[in-house]
Amino acid sequence: MTQNHIATVNPMPSTILHNSAEVRRQYTRAAARQAMAFIRRKVRIFNRKAVAVAQDMPQVQGGH
């Protein structure tokens, strides 16, 4: 039993399958999503460390 890894029965021209603007847009969105996840993770780690440091310090700040 052979497997065909083609989505359609009659293969389309590659220009339709790989519309460069569409592919670039998808790659850009994926890259942006990865970058945002990375930044969010870094900020979360930074905030966790900052909270730990702030809890170690005596409360100096007054109300504003």
The pair of structure tokens assigned to 19 is 């519309």
For the residues 56-64, what does the mean pLDDT come to?
Answer: 63
pLDDT tens-digit map of 40-55: 999 999 999 888 888 8
Strand, coil or helix: what is 4?
coil
pTM: 0.47
- Per-domain residue ranges for the chain? 14-56
Question: Does residue 37 carry a pLDDT above 90?
Answer: yes
For residue 36, what pLDDT is reported? Answer: 95
Quote the CA–CA distance of 5 and 11 in Å, as a whole number.
10
For residue 33, what pLDDT is reported? Answer: 94
Mean pLDDT for the chain?
A: 76
